[in-house]
């Protein structure tokens, strides 16, 4: 009888088929529309995608020749975006933000080479906001509507106004979806700069500060590099619907920023791959030598931007470009980019011998280093296979960033890929707790044995000679660069004690020294786990610092039980599951624009200097003063 009841629970009947309206579907499957939710601590968290979806519409107006200024205001959790374009046609204001597959982007004559294509963007923002307001102004008249979680709560009649033409959207993300979220201005600023670089002459005002770029991708690369780091002056090439900027430095790996119709495709795609292939081919033909592709691209810092009609992205979040022609009946992306690079880069190198010499020396340096390491790499790869990496060191997950999505269920697959995370832990107890509590679909665990080597000042040879580094490199699949990266998030998970901090610092040094593009592309994080558990019989509160602990004690009152976690291994798997979900607290490992990586490593990881001692002592005094003020 019990078995019959259990079977009935899984019957597939007419009642099993459900029809969701547009807002219910978006709220049930937000990952399909905005990627991961997050709390704002990562630049690809959902709250920034919401801002981007609204901003994209403003940029499309500018690209079509309407409105040269966009105003973005963020006050606490409220976002307001105002453009001065044509404004949504007043009779369609409500439909444009609340009916999926409704919009002007389906008509390529009205919005040629735009980013918004599917009529989804602002609808997703509307559905995922506690409050959403849209106002459109056209020729002296305005139309306004207000929504809550996608539901229309007030529609105003058309009214006369002296406002300039354009659209204004105000929204507050739903805090039941985006838990404990906070906007970080530096992430928004990075988004804004990208818009400016890709739309020369566009002016964006963000909380009173104005951003504008006159030289496009040349400005981008100048901001991303240091003049004393690069091997030759930046090459800047512009054509119809394509722009490229290129240089090299002494770092390992590749650092390529790619864009389609003003959209930053953080996971690359056909245009980025076409550029990589075309660059190698052109260089070989120019120098009349069959250089290895890795020697040509090692240390490259480049940006490539294309504009196409009806681009096909891998998902609604538009982070990867799929197969596409430049125009509806035009050349393939590979041919378009290849022809441009073959002609323009070749011409540039012939006219600029100093640049050509600097590029050649960098390639020959890479070639020499690669040949010196050839034997070591072969032995290291054999060792990795013998070490049975995927059983002993790596507890893998089902989805990976570099997997090819299937045609059926593509959107959901890509959403899962954006969540893929590898936790780097030290010690059996910590890795055991995370392994037992992780999401096996999207979360992997790599277990270190002991403290890593301090790799500052060492050559990449050590990555292959050191077993831990070699196996970590293979687990991430980054030997040949970011293209093969298997996880979207690399999270360092160590204890919050002195030893844990040291391990964290050594891992940061490893990434900065040998794979700085992982850091520059904001892939590396440090896991934040609670230091205290405060509870009584009714409630348990986990606290990440002393301030949160005191607030919890005040809330629970009557002498609650307080536990101080000394290490990750002390947190049970059941508890750990609460701290490594999609809303986990993690701190992004960032390098400020203009920072010289080798100088940073020298300062923090080189030999002790009086300057560093003074820095530590000075900051220690500040912390002691804070403790005295707070009564600690």
User: What local confidence, expressed as pLDDT, does residue 409 receive?
Assistant: 78
Cα(143)–Cα(519) distance, rounded to whole angstroms?
45
pLDDT band at 594 (very low <50, low <70, confident <90, very high): low
Where residue 624 falls among pLDDT bands split at 50, 70, 90?
very low
Kind plus residue range of the DSSP H or E element containing 293: helix 293-297
**Mean pLDDT score of the chain, rounded to an integer?**
83
pLDDT in tens, 541-585: 999 888 999 999 999 988 899 999 877 878 888 888 888 887 788
Q: How far apart are the first and last CA of the chain?
A: 63
Residues paired with residue 230 on neighbouring β-strands, in sequence order? none
Does 316 score more than 70 pLDDT? Answer: no
Q: What is the mean pLDDT of the segment spanning 408-424?
A: 86
pLDDT of residue 608: 58
Segment 112-137 mean pLDDT: 77
- What pLDDT is attached to residue 300? 93
Nearest alpha-carbon partner for 586 in 6, 75, 40, 32: 40
pLDDT at 213 over 80: yes
Lowest mean pLDDT among 226-235, 259-268, 491-500: 259-268
Q: What is the pLDDT of residue 402?
A: 85
How much of the chain, in percent, has pLDDT values that exceed 70?
A: 82
pLDDT band at residue 324, thresholds of 50, 70 and 90?
low
CA distance 118 to 589: 34
Comparing 163 with 112, the larger pLDDT belongs to: 163
Helix or strand or coil: residue 436? helix
Q: Which of 303-317, 430-444, 564-578 has the highest mean pLDDT?
A: 430-444
Give the residue among 170, 164, 134, 127 at the shortest CA–CA distance from 27. Answer: 127
pLDDT at site 600:
67
pLDDT tens digits, 17-39: 455 666 887 888 887 788 778 88
Position 141 pLDDT exceeds 90:
yes
The residue to which tokens 């029809």 are assigned: 19
Q: Which of 326-335, 392-401, 529-538, 608-617 has the lowest mean pLDDT?
A: 608-617
- More confident site: 570 or 485: 485
pLDDT for the residue 623: 42
The per-residue pLDDT for range 68-122, each reduced to its tens digit, is 999 999 999 999 999 999 999 999 899 889 876 544 443 444 344 444 443 467 8
Can you give the pLDDT at residue 383? 72
Nearest to 593 by CA among 288, 197, 265: 197
Residue bearing the bigger pLDDT, 50 or 64? 50
Residue 601 CB contacts under 8 Å (≥ 6 apart), including other chains: 456, 457, 509, 512, 513
Of the pLDDT bands very low, low, confident and very high (cuts 50, 70, 90), residue 612 is: low
Question: What band does 616 get if pLDDT is binned at 50, 70 and 90?
Answer: low
Mean pLDDT lowest among 270-279, 301-310, 514-523, 620-629: 620-629
For residues 96 and 319, which has the higher predicted lDDT (pLDDT)? 96
**pLDDT of 534 over the 90 cut:** yes
- Express as a percent the part of the chain with pLDDT over 90: 41
CB-based contact 509:503 (threshold 8 Å)? no
Task: State the number of CA atoms in the 13 A half-sphere of 203 facing the CB.
Answer: 8
Distances (CA, A) of 80 to 41, 179, 201, 222: 20, 20, 22, 30
Q: What is d(CA 406, CA 61) in angstroms, rounded to the nearest whole number?
A: 34
* Mean pLDDT computed over 120-138: 92
pTM: 0.71
For range 466-493, the mean pLDDT: 88
pLDDT for res 319: 65
Q: With CA atoms as reference, report the closest residue to 258 among 192, 304, 221, 207.
A: 304
Q: Which strands sit side by side in the sheet containing 540-543, from one edge to the other?
A: 540-543, 532-535, 561-564
* Residue 182: per-residue pLDDT: 92
Per-residue pLDDT, averaged over 180-189, amounts to 92
Secondary structure (3-state) at 340? helix
Q: For residues 56 and 115, what is the distance between their CA atoms, to the nearest angstrom?
A: 7
pLDDT of residue 449: 84
Residues 6+ apart with CB under 8 A from 449: 426, 468
């Amino acid at each position: 009888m019990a078995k019959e009841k259990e079977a009935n629970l899984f019957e597939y009947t007419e009642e099993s088929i459900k029809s969701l309206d547009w807002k219910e579907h978006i709220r049930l499957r937000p990952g399909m529309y905005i990627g991961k939710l997050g709390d704002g601590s990562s630049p690809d968290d959902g709250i920034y995608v919401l801002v981007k979806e609204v901003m994209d519409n403003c940029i499309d107006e500018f690209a079509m020749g309407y409105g040269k200024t966009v105003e973005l205001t963020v006050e606490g959790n409220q976002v307001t975006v105002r453009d001065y374009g044509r404004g949504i046609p007043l009779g369609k204001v409500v439909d444009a933000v609340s009916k999926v597959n409704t919009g002007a982007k389906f008509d390529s004559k009205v919005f040629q080479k735009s980013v918004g294509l599917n009529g989804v963007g602002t609808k997703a923002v509307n559905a995922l906001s506690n409050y959403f307001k849209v106002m459109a102004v056209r020729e002296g008249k305005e139309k306004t509507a207000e929504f809550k979680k996608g539901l229309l709560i007030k529609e105003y009649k058309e009214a006369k106004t002296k406002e300039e033409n354009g659209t204004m959207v105000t929204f507050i993300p739903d805090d039941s979806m985006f838990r404990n979220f906070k906007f970080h201005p530096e992430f928004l600023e990075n988004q804004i700069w990208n818009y400016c670089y890709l739309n020369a002459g566009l002016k964006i005002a963000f909380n009173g500060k104005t951003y504008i770029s006159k030289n496009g991708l040349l400005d981008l690369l100048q901001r991303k590099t240091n003049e004393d780091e690069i091997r030759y002056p930046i090459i800047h090439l512009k054509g119809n619907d394509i722009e490229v900027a290129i240089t090299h430095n002494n770092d390992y790996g590749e650092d390529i920023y790619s864009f389609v119709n003003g959209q930053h495709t953080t996971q690359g795609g056909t245009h980025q791959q076409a550029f990589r292939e075309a660059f190698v081919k052109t260089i070989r033909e120019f120098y009349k030598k069959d250089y290895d592709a890795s020697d040509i691209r090692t240390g490259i810092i480049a940006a490539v931007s294309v504009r196409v009609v009806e681009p096909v992205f891998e998902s609604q979040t538009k982070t990867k470009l799929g197969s596409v022609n430049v125009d509806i009946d035009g050349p393939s992306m590979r041919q378009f980019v290849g022809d441009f690079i073959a002609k323009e880069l070749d011409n540039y190198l012939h006219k600029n011998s100093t640049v050509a010499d600097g590029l050649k020396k960098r390639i020959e340096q890479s070639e020499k280093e690669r040949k010196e390491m050839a034997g070591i790499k072969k032995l290291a790869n054999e060792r990795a296979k013998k070490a049975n990496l995927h059983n002993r060191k790596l507890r893998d997950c089902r989805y990976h960033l570099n997997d090819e999505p299937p045609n059926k269920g593509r959107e959901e697959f890509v959403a899962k890929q954006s969540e893929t995370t590898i936790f780097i832990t030290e010690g059996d107890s910590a890795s055991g707790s995370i392994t037992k509590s992780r999401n096996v679909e999207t979360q992997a665990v790599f277990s270190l044995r002991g403290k890593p080597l301090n790799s500052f000042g060492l050559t990449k040879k050590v990555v292959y000679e050191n077993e831990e580094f070699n196996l970590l490199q293979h687990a991430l699949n980054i030997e040949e660069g970011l293209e093969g990266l298997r996880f979207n998030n690399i999270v360092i998970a160590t204890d919050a004690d002195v030893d844990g901090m040291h391990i964290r610092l050594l891992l940061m040094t490893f990434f900065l020294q040998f794979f700085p593009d992982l850091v520059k592309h904001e892939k590396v994080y440090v896991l934040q786990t609670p230091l205290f558990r405060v509870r009584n019989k009714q409630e348990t509160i986990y606290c990440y610092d002393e301030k949160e602990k005191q607030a919890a004690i005040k809330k629970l009152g009557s002498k609650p039980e307080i536990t101080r976690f000394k290490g990750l291994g002390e947190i049970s798997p059941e508890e750990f599951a609460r701290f490594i979900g999609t809303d986990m607290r993690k701190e992004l490992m960032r390098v400020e624009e203009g920072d010289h990586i080798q100088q940073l490593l020298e300062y923090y990881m080189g030999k002790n200097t009086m300057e560093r001692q003074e820095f530590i002592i000075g900051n220690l005094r500040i912390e002691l003063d804070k403790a005295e003020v707070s009564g600690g």
